[in-house]
Amino acid sequence: MAQAQSFKPDVEVRCRDFTIGCIGAGMIMAECHLAAYQEADFKVGAIASRTRANAQKVAERYGIPSVHDTPEALIEDPSVEIIDLAFPPDQQPALIRHALTQPHIKAILAQKPLALSLDEAIKLRDEAKAAGKILSVNQNMRYDQSIRVLKQILDNRELGELIFAQIDMHAIPHWQTFLEDYDRLTLSNMSVHHLDALRFLFGDPDEITTLTRKDPRTKFDHSDGITVSTLKFPSGVMALSLEDVWSGPREEGYEDDQHIRWRVEGTAGVARGTIGWPTGAPSTLGYASTRTTGGSWVEPKWETMWFPHAFVGVMEQLQYAVKSGEPPALSVADNVKTMALVEAGYKSIAEGRAVRLSEIPTN
């Protein structure tokens, strides 16, 4: 029978050699990136944001020695070797391009979505390659503990031939204010986690069909609120990605039941789990296999969480890529394929049909 200790829900830190410069001082940087880097003992040498005062507060909290007036000044700081961006996607490309011109910058970690359009993402991919710099994209759900262990189970073929998968979200995101300026909402900013995780688990799909309706809670205008996507993979796997950002009323006296669950079924077993992000708890996983557990349910345990601990893995894979010369696990080339899947989802919404990924060029 498989034992829980045989799994690795969190990464081993293989490299912490390079100095990070952080751009952004909002929630995702202050509560996730920097909390994870502190735990992993990564070196953060500088920070900047749109407002120096905000950057100064975060620097004092984490003992960051240098605060720059602007993101551009931080990028030009010769002591910084890795740029860590947490900036809106309409402003991110210009900062990436500035970093690509700096000889001391070895690598860049960008947020998702990488840009507002697939075409812009492709240009950034090609410009990074031409500059000889590593550009990586922060698809951090791949480092959620339940998703990592699920991938290990799938790689061990404990579930047999894979048949069906789903990610079922009923939770209310905190939409950043800058999203009010964009028409695209859920598919680009929330579904992108789930669609990328499905690619990580099952490879590139052949086609996607996406349906949507507006979310009554989201007051600013948007084209996609609640989204439901079905995917077909070359292996025969069919998958469902549901993002119910409404998830029911949230008012005094109404009992909150927000949750994210996932399930994978195969000919030899089933794995199921939860993502702990909406409730601030560790994610969970249980599985039963006729091949390795005798049909009994096994439930590995861990104490770490998606937020912030997954961000250790995201920065670790980039540090190791710089040291080893190997491509990062979260390469920009791979992320362009996730961007293409999102683009295909929007095309499906607009045209009311299944869209084959071959219709979305990425060359």
Give the domain CATH number at 347. Answer: 3.30.360.10
* 161 and 286 share one domain: yes
- pLDDT category at 1 given cuts 50, 70, 90 is very low
Q: What pLDDT is recorded for position 2? A: 46
Does the pLDDT value for residue 18 go beyond 90? yes
- Same domain for 169 and 289, yes or no, is yes
* 48 and 120 assigned to the same domain: yes
pLDDT computed for residue 115 by the predictor: 95
With cut-offs at 50, 70 and 90, classify the pLDDT of residue 250. confident
Answer yes or no: do 123 and 157 share one domain: no
Q: How confident is the model over 135-161, as a mean pLDDT?
A: 98
CB 17 within 8 A of CB 81: no
Whole-number average pLDDT of the chain: 97
CATH, residue 105: 3.40.50.720
Q: Amino acid letter at 206?
A: D
What Å distances lie between residue 194 and 98, 141, 225, 277, 321, CA to CA? 30, 8, 15, 13, 25
pTM (two decimals): 0.97
Sign of CA dihedral 102, 107, 110, 114: positive
**Within this chain, do residues 181 and 232 fall inside the same structural domain, yes or no?**
yes
Calculate Rg over the CA atoms of the chain.
Answer: 20
pLDDT at residue 278 tops 80: yes
The reply to whether 39 and 182 lie within a common domain is no
- Asked whether residue 249 falls in the same domain as residue 285, the answer is yes
Residues 154 and 294 in one domain: yes
Residues 166 and 298 in one domain: yes
Kindly state the average pLDDT of the residues 265-286.
97
Q: Residue 190: CB partners within 8 Å, gap ≥ 6? A: 169, 173, 243, 245
Q: Decide if pLDDT at 4 tops 70.
A: no
Quick check: bond before 88 cis, omega within 30?
A: no
Q: Could you write out the DSSP letters of every residue in 218-232?
A: --S--S-SEEEEEEE
Q: How far apart are CA 267 and CA 260, in angstroms?
A: 24
Share of the chain above pLDDT 70, in %: 99
Residue 255: inside a domain, yes or no? yes
Residues in the chain: 363
- Tokens 């061990």 — which residue? 156
- Report the number of distinct structural domains present in the chain: 2
Residues 125 and 156 in one domain: no
Q: Is residue 363 part of a domain?
A: no
Among candidate residues 356, 362, 92, the one with its CA nearest the CA of residue 234: 356
Domain hosting 35: range is 8-140+312-329
Crossing angle (nearest 10°) for helices 92-100 and 118-131: 10
Whether residue 292 sits in one domain with residue 161: yes
Say if residue 5's pLDDT is above 60. Answer: no
Verify that 134 and 148 share a domain, yes or no: no
The predicted-structure confidence for 57-98, as pLDDT tens digits, reads as follows 999 999 999 999 999 999 999 999 999 999 999 999 999 999
